[in-house]
Structure 1
Amino acid sequence: MEHLYFDHGATTLLRREVKEAMIYSMDLFGNPSSLHDEGMRAKDEMEAARERVAGALGASPREILFTGSGTESNNLAILGVARRHRNRGNHIITTQVEHPSVLETCRFLEKEGFRITRLPVDDYGIIDPIELEKSLTPHTILVSVMAGNNEVGSLMPIPAIASLLREKGILFHTDAVQYFGKVPLDVANWGVDLLSIGGHKINGPKGVGALFVRKGVRLDPVFFGGGHERGLRPGTHNLSGIIGLGVAVQLAAKEAAETETRLTRLRGRLWDQISREIDGTHLNGHPVKRLPHNLNIRFERVEGQAVMLELNRVGIAVSSGSACSSGKGAPSHVLKAMGQSDEEAYQSLRITLGRETTEKDIDILTYRLQKILVALRSRIRS
């Protein structure tokens, strides 16, 4: 049986060029913080990776911090700003549909006395910049809004938000973990102050990420114990992961425009087939303003997890939600924020495409999905 992977929103296949770079890095056994020749060779390779990441984002190398993941980047951005700028204010604004690494960090900060505003979204999962502006106070120090939603794929108006906040001197962080590499991105054009990315969403290694911190933005550390990454991320560097990240980011940025076009076409083909051949289907998220690789669908009368398990049985991997929140039993907080009932939220399936996805794969998925839904719905009727 042919196995097909449609869960690239959870993680991606390590591409050949990245794997080769990481294998090469295994011989660089020196610690990048050491001053002898072996250490300096390792440091040179690490700084070359930093330059690759910076170049891909339109930043300077000094503005790039290496972390252990996109989640850690989000934590460092929010906690770092909150603790550094607490003397200026204690108000942070985010949205109801953020990744758990943002929502749970904000929940933790509430225990430390910070006031958190969680902006509502429309039926597509998108905030209104006017409502954001109304929520600003003289005590607002940070706004954190994700670029593209990890569950339903809807895109937030990042440049518009950045422009608004820049005029008011309020720092702006965006979680671009799902966005980067699928759509061209330049931090200078966006005007954000902090931006998070992760390696394993762009055919890079797991366990490594990066945080863009605009020149002049000051953070407090979250961890302690060394001067690594300008004192903001202590601990011996994950050299192999960083080198792999550098290659993955550089390739993803170079191919982003082509990737966006190809994935948008494939996603359109998949939705056209599913909506035409399977009744009772509803698209979650915006039909146009969405990540090109993301298709989140609600199927009437069946639970998404049941469909996911049946697809897995026939060799197709999809998701019933975010990989960071699946298995907890509760309905998606994103779909609930978009106005769906518990029953509707449980009926949803997330299909995410990637570099390896072909038109043939799309056709096979549609065929097997149709048969599964007919079988599942017939059981309900009987």
Structure 2
Amino acid sequence: MSVEEFFDRVISVKLPEDCESLDIIDQTLLPGTVKRINLRTKEELWEAIKKLRVRGAPAIGVAAAEGLAMLAKKIDTADQQEFYRQFKEIADYLATSRPTAVNLFWALNRMDAFCRDHLDLPVDQLKQELIAESRRIREEDVQISRNIGAIGFKIMQQVRKPGQPVGILTHCNAGTLATAKYGTATAPMYTALEQGWAGTDMHVYCDETRPLLQGARLTSFELYNAGITTTLQCDNMVSMLMQQGRIDVVFVGCDRVAANGDAANKIGTSGVAILAKHYGVPFYVCAPSSTIDHDTPTGAQIPIEMRGPDEVTEMWYKERMAPEGVDVFNPAFDVTDHSLITGIITENGLLSAPYEL
């Protein structure tokens, strides 16, 4: 399977030409089942974002933009003000689906601003313009990943030991499934393939990422099927890998970057950063500029989503694996302090401390 064939198979979100539904790959079923579903209502789109059927900050942003355009097309009125009232109602509803991923709000706000700026157009024309704007958001996301990939690939070349594959660690899934294409943390690996590297020129270690197992179900699925040498390990095995010198660089994605460089990513990321600092392994956050929240001074102000206890006690198990009634702590994200981050790779360049974003 070529890289392009692989991308065609696992594209996370796409808006068909008729714009009657939003086509997504249901990531909750991976890796055992590769199934695409069509979302036609605001409730279905809200549920898909909330339940992680579509996930990853950039992919959520693309889904929100294209989904909002799809839903706007179905608004039945010719009056511009009434159209905007219903449009805004849908956008506000979608914004309640996930609290942490700033790309969701960024995409909805961009679509809202575009709609307000073009309310002088006939409604039918405005609908088409909103669809075109959502497609621009998609194409921009693809280019963002390409740019991040190019910078990350240069880092891979710099840290690679002569005669050995470069050892890469990643946490959660910031791959093509989490974006429109290429991914953020995986973009350097896919760029390497496009630049002529063989899959054996790199060895990617994927944290399983408890409790939702995005690394096991999604990242290892992606990279293995792309032909890249891939090893899956439990989250608590990272220290041994670094101690043995197997990891040359860490690439992770993120859901929000504060103005001081603190980065919120899937739970467990901050622990990886602490270990990387201890063992002298460079730790890079791959973040589209839309993920940088200039209005949030530090990571302390980033809202952290708390998820249900069943993800820890019951999900993935045939039988419950904890006593009934036991208290469960299940934050979806943690915040990595900027002092632990070697650099933040954006589409506009590599940022390093002191961070003033």
TM-score, length-normalised on structure 1? 0.30
Pick the structure with greater CA Rg: 1
Bigger relative CO (Cα 8 Å, ≥ 6 apart): 1
